[in-house]
Amino acid sequence: MARPTTVYVCSSCAHVAAKWHGQCPGCEEWNTMAEERAPARSASADGGLRGRRTPAARPIPLREISADRAPRIACGIGELDRLLGGGLVPGSLVLIGGSPGIGKSTLTTMALGLLQGAGRRTLYVSGEESAGQIRLRAERLEAGAAPGALDIPVLAETDLDVVLATLEAQAPEVCVIDSVQTLAAAELSGAPGTVGQVREVAHRLMAVAKRTGTAVVLVGHVTKDGALAGPRVLEHLVDCVLQFEGERERTYRTLRALKNRFGSTNDVGVFEMRDGGLVEVLDASARFVGEATRAPGSVVLAAMEGSRPLLVEVQALVSPSELVPPRRVVNGIDRNRLALVLAVLARHAGVGTGTADVFVNVVGGVRVDEPGADLAIALAVAGAARGVVLGETDSPTPVAAFGEIGLTGELRSVAHHDRRREEAEKFGLGQIISPESAPTLRDALRAGALGRRVHAAA
């Protein structure tokens, strides 16, 4: 039987199949199988190495191995350096992903500009923009947050062999590849961005980075669901994965570390997009609390972004609906988490929203994925449903809240409750509702003065 000349490869898990499947047999994702040319049969596959004895290697105890601690390369952007664990490690691979227009190229250009201004050797490889387009962005950053941006050496190229040869010849300390999906190896027949191409590009870039000691920063695309595009092997291969989040219509951006072999994944960096580039927001809580409104449906959430306390405003709107079922629209939280909170409110607190549209928004474009946001969401929805301003009527500051809601209506303690409380007290939020002060959801509603019913029109 003739060997097939093409195979079908899953773009999510790189599973290879001889024929097309609507659902990948490996990861069970739908419509991810793409046709590619079958790789050539190697000598080992034909039995060329059959009967050959491979010498065994000698394992070495870890106690006898000397660990070289190479000095890190500080980018000059405090929030980025902190997420990286102190800076870029020579010879490492860092992957930065984010939605189009979120500011990935701006962030990497700023970092290279600061490094170039500090006397470091850098290189910017772009497969998406021309050198002229990069210069326009560098001119804007040169006058703002990144002096030295116009001195960055730029290579507009998509041929992987040319890029690797340039890396070998120039030997930069830091190199940015924007983006990894635009490079292509000539010996592979697939188009740039396919599973085979991305896998080959990442492997060969890693080999050069480890051999030359160049810290390589890869800019990656994301899917419509916000996940990093390309095969999962790309995330396993790199040393650090950073996710750039935010909304293009808003000024705030958050940078999260999803994976970090040289540092912690419990931190988040906050930036603000301005005309001169990205500006670090060193005290994000002050910005968000200062913009908080004392109105029905508004609560300040004392959240934890890794090991960093962060105060953000949670707003809710509850209005009568003519739709069946009513709408549940969220921004910044998980929609399934809102469904759980609404069910507990109806069952154990007497706040029903079954015939109303519910809208919940975390102000500022911040996304909160921790269960400690449950209580703030519940108080915001209850306040909006009853038209009641949380807290005492004569209090000038909004109410802060945090805590996880159980299915039986109890409030459960969350991590770092002392640091959350200290952050709220630091900004003068007098009333703080938490599982320590209110053991059940009903107690929390009473503490927030939601025991009385006030109509919004009153």
Interacting residues of 117 by C-beta distance below 8 A, sequence separation 6+ = 76, 146, 147, 148, 151
Query: Which has more pLDDT, 306 or 378?
Result: 378
pLDDT at 436 over 60: yes
CA-CA distance, 103 to 98, in Å (whole number)? 8
pLDDT score recorded for residue 429: 86
pLDDT at 1 over 60: no
Q: Please give the helix or strand (H or E) that residue 22 lies within, else none.
A: none
pLDDT score recorded for residue 457: 32
pLDDT score recorded for residue 454: 37
pLDDT score recorded for residue 41: 59
Side-chain half-sphere CA neighbours of 210 within 13 A: 9
pLDDT score recorded for residue 455: 37
Q: What is Dmax (Cα atoms) for the chain?
A: 89
* 82 φ, ψ (degrees, to nearest 5): -65, -40
For residue 403, what are its two tokens?
A: 């805590």
Segment 78-94 mean pLDDT: 92
Segment 149-171 mean pLDDT: 94
Tell me what the pLDDT averaged over the chain comes to.
86
For residue 80, what are its two tokens?
A: 């980025």
pLDDT score recorded for residue 68: 65
pLDDT band at 227 (very low <50, low <70, confident <90, very high): confident
pLDDT score recorded for residue 50: 53
Beta strands per DSSP E along 225-297: 240-246, 252-260, 268-274, 277-280
User: Torsion angle, CA of 285/286/288/292, rounded to 10 degrees?
Assistant: 120
CA-CA distance, 111 to 74, in Å (whole number)? 9
Segment 386-415 mean pLDDT: 88
pLDDT band at 110 (very low <50, low <70, confident <90, very high): very high
**AA letter at 212:** T
Beta strands per DSSP E along 147-306: 154-156, 174-178, 215-220, 240-246, 252-260, 268-274, 277-280, 298-305
CB atoms within 10 A of CB 156: 15
In CATH terms, the fold of domain 286-447 is: Ribosomal Protein S5; domain 2 (3.30.230)
CA-CA distance, 264 to 306, in Å (whole number)? 9
Q: What DSSP string describes 136-161?
A: HHHHHHHTTT-TTGGG--EEE--BHH
For residue 221, what are its two tokens?
A: 């695309």
pLDDT score recorded for residue 343: 96
Q: Which position has the token pair 């919004």?
A: 456
Residue range 23-81, pLDDT digits in tens: 988 888 888 887 777 766 555 444 454 556 888 988 999 888 877 677 899 999 998 99
For residue 118, what are its two tokens?
A: 């500090």
Q: Omega into 325 within 30° of 0, i.e. cis?
A: yes
Query: Which has more pLDDT, 374 or 285?
Result: 374
pLDDT score recorded for residue 253: 87
Residue range 203-225, pLDDT digits in tens: 999 999 999 999 999 999 887 76
Nearest to 141 by CA among 95, 103, 169: 103
Least confident of 238-242, 298-302, 445-449: 445-449
Given CATH 3.40.50.300, say whether it is the number of domain 78-282.
yes
pLDDT score recorded for residue 33: 84
pLDDT at 272 over 70: yes
Least confident of 86-90, 220-224, 327-331: 220-224
Side-chain half-sphere CA neighbours of 394 within 13 A: 0
What percentage of the chain has pLDDT greater than the value 70?
91
Angle at CA of residue 244, ends 240 and 247, nearest 5°: 170
Q: Omega into 179 within 30° of 0, i.e. cis?
A: yes
Query: Which has more pLDDT, 149 or 227?
Result: 149
Residue range 340-356, pLDDT digits in tens: 999 999 999 999 999 99
pLDDT score recorded for residue 456: 37
pLDDT at 286 over 90: no
pLDDT score recorded for residue 453: 44
Work out whether the CA dihedral 337, 342, 344, 349 comes out positive or negative.
positive
Q: What DSSP string describes 333-393?
A: S-HHHHHHHHHHHHHHS----TTEEEEEEETTS----SGGGHHHHHHHHHHHHHT--SS-T
Segment 356-382 mean pLDDT: 92
pLDDT score recorded for residue 270: 85
pLDDT score recorded for residue 452: 45
What percentage of the chain has pLDDT greater than the value 90?
50
CA-CA distance, 398 to 300, in Å (whole number)? 7
Q: Please give the helix or strand (H or E) that residue 308 lies within, else none.
A: strand 308-320
Segment 110-134 mean pLDDT: 93
pLDDT score recorded for residue 4: 56
pLDDT at 393 over 50: yes
